[in-house]
Amino acid sequence: MTKLINGKEIAQNLRNQLKAEIDSLKSKIGKVPGLAVVQVGNVAASSVYVKAKTKSAKEVGIDVIDHHLSQETSEKDLLELVYKLNNQDNVNGILVQLPLPNHINEQIILDSIHPNKDADGFHPLNVGKLSIASKNDENLLIPCTPYGCLIMLKGLDINLSGMNAIVIGRSNIVGKPMAQLLLKESCTVTVAHSKTKNLEEVCKSADIVVAAVGRPQMVKGGWIKKGAVVIDVGINRIKLNTNGEIKNKLVGDVDFIEAKKNAAAITPVPGGVGPMTIACLLRNTTIAFKNSQKN
Ligand code: NDP
């Protein structure tokens, strides 16, 4: 029987742990973590994500400091806000929701966030630390989506050490940090991308497949080795014609129904990686808060 990896449930468990930890910190030191959430403009998907992140943060006891700026905000004004938040004592984590409007350079903004307050784990210093720190370092701020994937993998009854893992996609926010995390677990890691030759063959040799491509159902069932574990990061909106009626559907990068026939365990879309990403953002904010208390 293929195990369905329930991201909703695992994320809920992580949020419960964080809530208990934040309650205990509050009673010991009288303070709770603070997360500044910055949104520029009104991209519909960003508003949905910001709303979900804000709601989840409040539920675990994190203070949310909300900054919703107009689409016309200049790069200079956004930078000034980030510098202000960097120096604000009640802010432990800063999240700037991407994408930013075209007139703002995203990398300049991400680099301006103080590395100790980098709730997304995207700052170059934290990217570097992820690459060189030991796997037991609990103080690291790690990109949320790949860390969520790792939690799901570690929750399975398998020994990751020595496994062949393929990460399809090499983005800075998912693919590359995912590869680093799997390497730390002593997996033998292949990172595939749009120029990879014979992707199907490479995929067939993997014990673990992490798909982060952004192409609906690109990874076919036949690419999955019998008994492999499949983590589907993709979130793609497609239109389905059901008896003449056009409906929107959310699908992953993996052909779930076919891949499930071969996989030992697989994440669904939705309800897999998505909820883990938000829970890991709250985890990073809590880590940043605890780190700030040590300084
Ligand atoms: P990017 O577009 O930044 O990266 C996509 C990667 O896929 C690139 O490295 C690209 O290769 C590779 N790729 C594209 N086409 C192919 C192909 N035909 N064969 C092999 N590789 C290919 O995407 P992200 O990493 O930001 O996101 C990936 C997916 O994950 C998206 O669906 C996104 O919505 C989803 N996502 C989900 C999250 C969640 O919380 N569940 C969070 C973040 C993302 P190359 O580098 O050569 O161009």
* 165 and 260 inside one domain: yes
Q: Tokens 């004592």 — which residue?
A: 89
* 166 and 262 inside one domain: yes
At 135 the pLDDT is: 87
* 182 and 263 inside one domain: yes
For residue 90, what are the CA distances in angstroms to 64, 171, 211? 10, 32, 37
Q: Which of 110, 42, 105 is nearest to 75 (CA)?
A: 105
* 237 and 153 inside one domain: yes
In a domain, 35, yes or no: yes
User: Which residues does the annotation mark as catalytic?
Assistant: 53, 97, 120
Q: How far apart are CA 277 and CA 251, in angstroms?
A: 17
Structurally, the chain folds into a number of domains equal to: 2
* 69 and 175 inside one domain: no
CB 88 near ligand 1, within 6 Å: no
Assigned token pair, 57: 């943060």
* 90 and 161 inside one domain: no
At 136 the pLDDT is: 87
Positive/negative CA dihedral, 173, 176, 178, 180: negative
In a domain, 209, yes or no: yes
At 295 the pLDDT is: 62
Q: What is the largest CA-CA distance in the chain?
A: 62
For ligand 1, pick from 233, 254, 278, 282 the residue to mutate: most ligand atoms within 8 Å of CB. 233
* 183 and 249 inside one domain: yes
In a domain, 127, yes or no: no
* 154 and 227 inside one domain: yes
At 167 the pLDDT is: 99
Give percent helix, percent strand, percent coil of the chain, each to the nearest 5: 45, 20, 35
For ligand 1, pick from 173, 176, 194 the residue to mutate: most ligand atoms within 8 Å of CB. 194
> Cβ(207)–Cβ(164) under 8 Å?
yes
Helix 7-29 and helix 144-154: axis angle, to 10°? 110
Return the CATH number at 110. 3.40.50.10860
Q: How far apart are CA 231 and CA 280, in angstroms?
A: 16
* 260 and 205 inside one domain: yes
In a domain, 16, yes or no: no
DSSP code, position 233: -
In a domain, 293, yes or no: no
* 157 and 86 inside one domain: no
Cis check for the bond before 101: say yes or no (omega within 30 of 0): no
Q: How far away, in angstroms, is 123 Cα from ligand 1 center?
A: 19
> pTM of this prediction?
0.97
Closest atom of ligand 1 to CA, residue 272 = 41
Query: pLDDT tens per residue, the chain (295 residues)?
Result: 999 999 999 999 999 999 999 999 999 999 999 999 999 999 999 999 999 999 999 999 999 999 999 999 999 999 999 999 999 999 999 999 999 999 999 999 999 999 999 999 999 999 999 999 988 899 999 999 999 999 999 999 899 999 999 999 999 999 999 999 999 999 999 999 999 999 999 999 999 999 999 999 999 999 999 999 999 999 999 998 888 899 999 999 999 999 999 999 999 999 999 999 999 999 999 999 999 998 6
* 110 and 148 inside one domain: no
Structural domain of 264: 143-274
> Cβ(93)–Cβ(36) under 8 Å?
yes
In a domain, 199, yes or no: yes
Q: Which of 151, 89, 105 is nearest to 284 (CA)?
A: 151
In a domain, 74, yes or no: yes
Closest atom of ligand 1 to CA, residue 215 = 32
* 195 and 158 inside one domain: yes
CA 248 to chain centre: 24
Return the CATH number at 208. 3.40.50.720
Q: Which of 10, 117, 11 is nearest to 59 (CA)?
A: 11
DSSP code, position 80: H
In a domain, 291, yes or no: no
Q: How far away, in angstroms, is 212 Cα from ligand 1 center?
A: 4
